[in-house]
Structure 1
Amino acid sequence: MGNCKSSSRALLGKAHVDPDSEWRMQDFGKTHVPDLEWRINDFSSLLETGAKSATSDTFHCSGYNWHLEVSPAKKKRHLEVKPMHKKAGSSTPYVALRLVAFRPSLVPGHMVHAVFELSIYNHSRRMYCGCKASYNFGFKNIFSKEHCLIPLQELLKSSAFLVDDSCVFGVEILKIDVSSPEKKAVVVQKKPTTVQNLFVQKKGFVKGTYTWNMNNFLELDLDHFVRSPTFEVGGHKWYVRMYPRGDKYSTDCLSLYLYLDVSDELHLKSKKVVVMTLSILDQKNGKHLTGTSGLLVFTSGRSWGWANFLGLKKLKDPSEGYVVGSSCVVKADLTIVGSSNDC
């Protein structure tokens, strides 16, 4: 299951909690063929990173690009499990999935209503099981609701869902309707499944820090973006891009992103899996504003970050300490935890 030569069709099904706290999976059947089949290798290592989530690389379906995100529970010492996601009304830690629209593929003013199935592969039954869901995706509303599939403890002790410390997740998009002035109709065209593998290192994470001191912040062209000098972490070139008055995705906020430089010779089949922290330093009070990601896949020219990182009102407030005189300081912390490839 999930190797590059012969990929089975991993389909996700529905999991829910009954009043007696038992759980069941609903099989999707042999006809379920996902648009994305995402194999997470070394799943226990993913938990050990403490990351709040892991996000797949993009996959394409019917004119739009998407990501699949999994939110596991956090594994601590002595196999104690601290939940990062709990089902409403339950204290049981769950593995949750959600569909994420790739914002640049959306159009302002358009609402994309998607019907989809989120799934996990059952190796014993040789089929996917999971839940059917729907969501209205918009230019500033790209994350679907999180859907709990399976209790984390059940996944960790299961020989049906976890094989060789790897599990396979999937998503199939069944229907897309677009509400727009043009009333655009979208036909979901089936094509071969996109197969991705995520590998998490057991040890030897590569870490790096870069501090970007802007001493002429107020003299910069604040209506556009500014970028830091290029810096190197893990043998690869990175830079930070800031939109001091926000990009087209923001709402009265400064936008901040980390880029893997397009000149970097990182091969498309060997993408880096990174946890990043971006900070704007409070130079007066030491109360720095920080955003930390889950596991993200980077390839040359790719960026991740936050459109609404810091409200413009707080940025301009001298008492907050984010801009002192004409000085603004941004810090980037990167940890390369693994790699990703497509089959």
Structure 2
Amino acid sequence: MGNCKSSSRALLGKAHVVPDPEWRIPDFGKTHVPDFEWRIDDFSSLLKTGAKRATSGPFHCSGYNWDLQVSLMHKEAGSVTPYAALRLVPSELSLVPAHTVHAVFELSIYNHSKGMYYGCKASYSFDFKNFYSKEHCLIPLKKLLKSSAFLVEDSCVFAVEILKIDACSPEKKAVVVQKKPTTVQNLFVQEKGFVKGTYTWNMNNFLELDLDHSVRSPTFEVGGHKWYIRMYPRGDLYSTDCLSLYLFLDASDELHLESKKVAVMTLSILNQKNGKHLTKNSGSTLLSKYQCYSCV
């Protein structure tokens, strides 16, 4: 799908523009220096793939790894207008039971013509079952696509600054937000056609499984890449009361660690009495190596 490269460089800008009422931004933070800046090149090609959202590679801030996620067709309740919306996502591995991280942060999009960031201040309490912040609308998608300020040569820039972190854990360790040069990533989109494929995992010995541990399917190939399914019969830390399925790219796959693919994934379980499937569809999303999609 594309490549994502990390680096540190000079900032694009530091201030904010005057808000447009249509953007519905409830708050505006002070002038800020982002901890993370994410440039998406060939933005229109990303839309043409049908992807509903895209997730950056991880960046490190104050002892935690984070991702920035942009939703490309987000709609607020009661509205039919699609927005480009941002949300912050900590790494699941950073959060364990009895560990809560309350973060205050600022999400923004860059205005090239004015040399300013435009955005909103937000906060969220993350724990090992709630690791997606609320999506915050920045700009109507139609306005973004017609803009000569936010979209320059089919490229737009999103950013986040983490202002404060309060961690609640058995260790009760204080967290200090340490400022450092902005981490920068680029996502280069290459539009290609979708390749379809299916895989069926037949399990004839389900009742003989150790239900307290996960089970991995054989590796299979779809779309030129190797995949496998991991099943937790009694759920895992993130879904303790139901069977959980996860789809992974195999570690031996040649997809580069920083590359991403647009994938539409459907995981299902067959009800053998009525012949119907219990199904969950991911919609279109960007998938990178070591990321997974779950169906619970």
TM-score (norm 1): 0.75
Which stretch of structure 1 is more off in the superposition, 201-210 or 141-150?
Answer: 201-210
Give the Cα–Cα distance (whole angstroms) in 1 for the partners of residues 150 and 61 of structure 2: 26
1:1-343 alignment, distance < 5 Å: 7-9=9-11, 18=21, 21=22, 32-73=32-73, 84-86=74-76, 88=77, 90-283=79-272, 284-299=274-289, 302-306=290-294, 309-310=295-296
Q: Which amino acid aligns with 2:281?
A: G
Could you say if the C-alpha distance between residues 15 and 106 of structure 1 is closer, same or farther in structure 2, counting changes exceeding 3 Å? farther
Distance 1:181 1:280 in 2: 38
Instruction: Kindly provide the amino acid, as one letter, of the partner of residue 37 in structure 1.
Output: E
Give distance in 2, aligned partners of 1:250 and 1:14: 42
Assess if the C-alpha contact under 8 Å between 1:119 and 1:170 holds in 2: yes
1:60 maps to a residue whose letter is H
For residues 260 and 14 of structure 1, the distance between their equivalents in structure 2, rounded to whole angstroms, comes to 41
CA distance in 1, matches of 2:196, 2:258: 22
Alpha-carbon distance in structure 1 between the residues aligned to 2:23 and 2:277: 44
Where 2:44 maps in the other structure, the secondary structure is: helix
Instruction: Tell whether the 8 Å contact from 2:7 to 2:183 is kept in structure 1 after alignment.
Output: no
Say which SS state the counterpart of residue 45 (structure 1) adopts: helix
| Aligned Cα root-mean-square deviation (Å) | 2.9
Gaps of 5+ in 2: none
Give me the identity figure in percent: 69
TM-score, length-scaled by structure 2: 0.86
Query: In 1, distance between residues paired with 2:130 and 2:202?
Result: 32
Is the contact made by 1:13 and 1:25 (CA closer than 8 Å) also made in structure 2?
no
- Report if the CA contact (8 A) 2:38-2:158 is conserved: yes
Once the two structures are overlaid, the 10-residue window that deviates more, 110-119 or 192-201, is: 192-201
Q: Comparing both chains, which one has the higher relative contact order based on Cα–Cα distances under 8 Å and sequence gaps of 6 or more?
A: 2
Contact kept in structure 1, 2:28 and 2:121, CA below 8 Å:
no
Q: Which moved more, 1:265-274 or 1:224-233?
A: 265-274
Q: Tell me the alpha carbon deviations over residues 68-109 of structure 1, each in whole angstroms, 9 at most, x when there is no partner.
A: 111122xxxxxxxxxx423x5544322111111211111211
Deviation at 1:247? 0.9
Deviation at 1:233, TM superposition (A): 2.8
Question: Deviations for 1:259-293, whole angstroms, at most 9, x for unmatched residues?
Answer: 12222343334344434332223342424322315
Higher alpha-carbon deviation: 140-149 or 232-241: 232-241
How far apart, CA to CA, are the structure 2 residues paired with 1:241 and 1:15? 48
Assess, with a 3 A threshold, how the Cα gap between structure 1 residues 271 and 293 changes in structure 2: closer, same or farther. Answer: same
- The Cα shift of 1:61 comes to 1.2
Instruction: Say if 1:56 and 1:68, in contact at 8 Å, map to a contact too.
Output: yes
CA apart distance, 1:23: 6.3
Query: CA contact under 8 A between 2:49 and 2:191: conserved in structure 1?
Result: no
Gaps of 5+ in 1: 74-83, 311-343
CA distance in 2, matches of 1:117, 1:249: 27
- Equivalent pairs, count: 291
Distance 1:124 1:4, change over 3 A: farther
